[in-house]
Structure 1
Amino acid sequence: MAVRDGVVAWLGSDQVGRSQFGSAQVIDLQGAFVSPAFVDSHIHLTSTGLLLTGLDLTAATSKRHCLTLVAEHVAAHPGRPIWAHGWDDTAWARDEAPSTAELDAVAGAVPAYLARVDVHSAVASTALRDLVPGLAAVAGYESQRPLSADAHHLVRGEARRLLTTGQRADARIAALDALAAAGIVAAHECAGPDIGGIDDWQELRATEHGVDVIGYWGEAVSSAAQARALLETTGARGLAGDLFVDGALGSHTAWLCEPYADAPGSTGNCYLDPDGIADHLFACTEAGVTAGFHVIGDAAVRAVVDALARLVERFGSRAVARCGHRLEHLEMVTAEQAAILGQCGVTASMQPNFDALWGGSNGMYARRLGSGRAALLNPLSLLASAGVPMAFGSDAPVTGIDPWAIVRAASHHQTQGSAISARAAFAAATRGAWRAGGVQDGIMGTLVPGAPASYAVWDTGETEVASPADTVQRWSTDPRSRVPALPRLEVGDPLPHCRQTVHRGVVLHG
């Protein structure tokens, strides 16, 4: 491959290249391979950076271990407010979250915020709760159990306010550096009033870094004028991303048609009703603005798809498709709903790692929903067969940002018949994610002459190979697919390690 002025100038055989570009600087990769760089279609950069620079609870193996990690952090940072993320009670033997009293016992008078792994509920210390007037009267309040819904959003906002400007800035750079080190050159930031707030979003927009940030603002509107004004105010790519219709299955806040198997009295939470969903879609479509929602539960998906069907009746499928509307997560979708989404060109921005973490017959999904409903979650092959455009991301800090893990999860779905090919998964994490972010030139996310030189160089972890072909699995390498021969991604195989990341000819990592 020859690169000139940040653009791929030529691809071909070694002998021809050396004769055609005799004066070029030659870089011998010594068995490593080159692929188009990845794009993360759903991330929260400041929160991801706070996980990298602060208190990471993802390794906690029990409630006791979680509290021990908090106590050690308090001892190392006396008097400082605590922002922590990642505990997952469904991975613990007793499936029991820390109580307020138990957190107080280790945090003392320090305000402490401990977000659950899905960030739809959190344990908060009394010192933090006391900073929010009237909290006990707000939906989602619990005196000893984790907070959810509006109570969680209020406490999260207060915990965010306690972070210093320096902490937030360091976190953003840490997250962007981590993306570059993972072979990722662009990310779709899903911002909003209840995520990081407008200050965090504007600070992120002002951050200088080589990784592209394509931002979405999750706030509902009811008129085209409102949509245009909000887009101008925020500078976002669209009014989409985490505009919450519901919550998450792990926190029992995803909106379901039938009750949870392990909480028979609950069908979860509805944060945006069907009228609000329709108003937002109609307003954005009239304004020509990308709209979208966070949807996980089947009741939430049904409400959105019903509104989309009405939208198509009014504007026509082509006008709807031109707006590039998108749905985040989309875990519980039927064949009929997938057909409607395919007809109106709505992108499914999905996280295959969810299935890797919580799928399977004994996973969190099965406990929350029962094995029958759980087996229908994240139906990647169904969506692909219905022609629904897909883009893949991490939802970091919810899951890790390793893009090859995402490709492997999509091609090794724990439900038989729901996986897609590794080639299709790779395309969803590269070209598909660029398209979802509004880049529709047909070449971004590929390595062809005329395309931006945005690529990553990978080591496979195999030190002794007879030839480069020995390090790849023989999926189709038809040039029309514009997907390179891919590395082995079997469960248990080491994932490729990023040696270098280049974006438009500029080295971001390595």
Structure 2
Amino acid sequence: MAVRDGVVTWLGSDAVGRERFPQAEVVDLDGGFVTPGFVDSHVHVTETGLCRTGLDLRPATSWRHCLQLIADYTASHPDQPIWGHGWDDSGWPDGGGPDAAALDAVVGERPAYLSRIDVHSALASTALRRRVADLPPETAAAAVLSGDAHHLVRAAARDLLTAGQRAAARTAALDAAAAAGIVAVHECAGPDIGGIEDWRELQALSHGVEVIGYWGEPVDSAERARELLSDTGARGLGGDLFVDGALGSHSAWLHQPYADAPDCTGVCHLDAATVEAHLRACTEAGVTAGFHVIGDAAVSTVVAALERVVDHFGVTAVARCGHRLEHLEMVDAEQAAKLGSWGVIASMQPVFDALWGGDDGMYAQRLGAARAAGLNPFALLASQGVPLAFGSDSPVTALDPWAAVRAASQHRTPGSAVSMRAAFAATTRGGWRAGGIHDGVTGTLVPGAPASYAVWEVGELAVAAPRDTVQRWSTDPRSGVPALPVLDSGVAPRCRRTVHRGVILHD
């Protein structure tokens, strides 16, 4: 491959290349291989960095273990507010759950904000809660806060972070993305996530990993849509514009109650009228709209609103906007067919299934095995022509695109997986397409494409698998499509270098 001025100019055999470009600087990959750079279609940059620079609770195997991690961090970081993330009680032994008094006993008078793995609920110390003047009284005794109470305490915790801490977190997150072979991320921002100040600071950061931003705030007129887009500089008005919450926090909005909470059907954050008004305004303005939708009631609300908007403006006008649905975990065949015919993009996170799918995973706990088996139906969506873009929702799951490829091609429900080739496309070209790039070459390595690529080492894969299965064609070899590494062993290729538009981001 030859690159000039940030663009791929030629591909061919080694001998021809050396003869054609005798003066070129030559980089010998020594057995490595090159892929297009990955695109993560859904991240939260600052929160990802805070997880890396702050307290990571994802390793906690029980409430007792979680408390020990908090205590150790508190002792080693005296006189600092505590920001942590990642506890997941769905895998903890029965009988041990979050307890507000126990948290206070560990952190004392320190403000502490500790988000659950899905970031839709959190533990908060009494010292932090006291900083929220209008916190509802009924939350005083609640160990875990969700909904509006969660947004309030998160905003209070965010206000305690210094500009230096936020800047260090963002740089750490984007450095980690580059080290994972990621050249671009879709930041899903909004008033209740990081707030406008965080968004402005992220826009001002010069890093190298491209940040494509979405702002999750509803509008009710085309004029307001254009105004908000101009004011924020966002690519679209969507991302985490919450219609509902998350299954793990019992806040995804369902038609039928949770199996493990029979009196609960989740939370509706946006009613049907607000959803439709937002879609109408954005479609009239030619702006990408989008929503966070997980539960089947949330999906039904958005699909019904889209249908009314299609009836009013026509399919072409709707498809031209590239509207997006984030997560889209509970979607049926009829809805998938409609979304495919309207050109609506599904921005999904395959590692959710790897973490929480299966007969005994969190999904089955919350919904029962039968309902859980229908979640994240990648094959169904692909078969109906719904464009797929894969990401991590980091910090919910790690910045690890190969893990997403593996999870999508090894879905825990038979019949729901897509091919490894399709999964790879959804983490490369799919991300650019979801971000509004339709030139036909970005996200590939062909002459004329941006030189955005990663160099990978497969040595560890050779140890983990027999040599003749280290690489395998994921499509018919006669097609000439390059091989992808076998990921069955669970060992991913190691990123040796990441380049975006000819600029080295990681080496």
The separation in 2 between residues aligned to 1:122 and 1:194, in whole angstroms, is 14
1:21 positional shift: 1.1
- CA distance change for structure 1 residues 158 and 232 in 2, over 3 Å: closer, same or farther? same
The separation in 2 between residues aligned to 1:94 and 1:160, in whole angstroms, is 32
The separation in 1 between residues aligned to 2:95 and 2:293, in whole angstroms, is 25
- CA distance change for structure 1 residues 175 and 232 in 2, over 3 Å: closer, same or farther? same
CA-to-aligned-CA distance 1:347-406 (integer Å, 9 cap, x gap): 000000000000000000000000010000000000000000000000000001110000
Q: Say whether the 8 Å CA contact 1:458–1:498 is kept in structure 2.
A: yes
- CA distance change for structure 1 residues 236 and 372 in 2, over 3 Å: closer, same or farther? same
Look up the match of 1:502.
499
Q: Say whether the 8 Å CA contact 2:469–2:486 is kept in structure 1.
A: no
Q: Say whether the 8 Å CA contact 1:255–1:267 is kept in structure 2.
A: yes
- The reply to whether residue 182 of structure 1 matches residue 180 of structure 2 is yes
Look up the match of 1:147.
145
Letter in 2 for 1:50: L
Match of 2:311, SS state, is helix
Look up the match of 1:134.
134
The separation in 1 between residues aligned to 2:318 and 2:412, in whole angstroms, is 33
Look up the match of 2:9.
9
Look up the match of 1:371.
369
The separation in 2 between residues aligned to 1:143 and 1:215, in whole angstroms, is 37
Aligned pairs for 1:12-411 (under 5 A) are 12-94=12-94, 96-137=96-137, 141=139, 143-411=141-409
CA-to-aligned-CA distance 1:134-166 (integer Å, 9 cap, x gap): 31247xx36232000000000000000111100
The separation in 1 between residues aligned to 2:105 and 2:356, in whole angstroms, is 31
Match of 1:187, SS state, is strand
The separation in 1 between residues aligned to 2:206 and 2:60, in whole angstroms, is 34
Q: Say whether the 8 Å CA contact 1:477–1:485 is kept in structure 2.
A: no
1:22 positional shift: 1.5
CA-to-aligned-CA distance 1:415-446 (integer Å, 9 cap, x gap): 00000000000000000100000111110000
74-83 or 108-117, which deviates more:
74-83
The separation in 2 between residues aligned to 1:149 and 1:374, in whole angstroms, is 24
1:94 positional shift: 2.0
Match of 1:277, SS state, is helix
Letter in 2 for 1:369: L
Note the residue ranges of structure 1 that are not aligned, 5 or more in a row. Answer: none
The separation in 2 between residues aligned to 1:470 and 1:265, in whole angstroms, is 50
Letter in 2 for 1:474: W
Q: Say whether the 8 Å CA contact 2:461–2:470 is kept in structure 1.
A: no
Match of 2:459, SS state, is coil
1:54 positional shift: 0.6
CA-to-aligned-CA distance 1:425-481 (integer Å, 9 cap, x gap): 00000001000001111100000001111000001134869x998631122266978
Q: Say whether the 8 Å CA contact 1:39–1:393 is kept in structure 2.
A: yes
The separation in 2 between residues aligned to 1:403 and 1:424, in whole angstroms, is 13
Look up the match of 1:473.
472
The separation in 2 between residues aligned to 1:66 and 1:142, in whole angstroms, is 22
The separation in 2 between residues aligned to 1:489 and 1:90, in whole angstroms, is 27
Aligned residues: 506
Letter in 2 for 1:150: D
Match of 2:499, SS state, is strand
Letter in 2 for 1:366: A
The separation in 2 between residues aligned to 1:238 and 1:208, in whole angstroms, is 21
Note the residue ranges of structure 2 that are not aligned, 5 or more in a row. Answer: none
Match of 1:253, SS state, is coil
> 2:483 aligned to 469, 482, 485, which one?
485
The separation in 2 between residues aligned to 1:144 and 1:81, in whole angstroms, is 21
The separation in 1 between residues aligned to 2:404 and 2:222, in whole angstroms, is 36
Match of 1:102, SS state, is helix
Letter in 2 for 1:176: L
The separation in 2 between residues aligned to 1:484 and 1:426, in whole angstroms, is 12
Letter in 1 for 2:377: P
Letter in 1 for 2:87: W
The separation in 1 between residues aligned to 2:287 and 2:261, in whole angstroms, is 39
CA-to-aligned-CA distance 1:281-330 (integer Å, 9 cap, x gap): 00100011100000000000000000011111011111101001000000
Q: Say whether the 8 Å CA contact 2:44–2:188 is kept in structure 1.
A: yes
Q: Say whether the 8 Å CA contact 2:408–2:420 is kept in structure 1.
A: yes
The separation in 2 between residues aligned to 1:504 and 1:404, in whole angstroms, is 21
The separation in 1 between residues aligned to 2:373 and 2:106, in whole angstroms, is 40
The separation in 2 between residues aligned to 1:211 and 1:296, in whole angstroms, is 28
- The reply to whether residue 455 of structure 1 matches residue 473 of structure 2 is no
Letter in 2 for 1:504: R
Letter in 2 for 1:80: Q
Q: Say whether the 8 Å CA contact 2:462–2:470 is kept in structure 1.
A: no
1:95 positional shift: 6.5
TM-score, normalization by structure 2: 0.97
Match of 1:396, SS state, is coil
Q: Say whether the 8 Å CA contact 1:8–1:451 is kept in structure 2.
A: yes
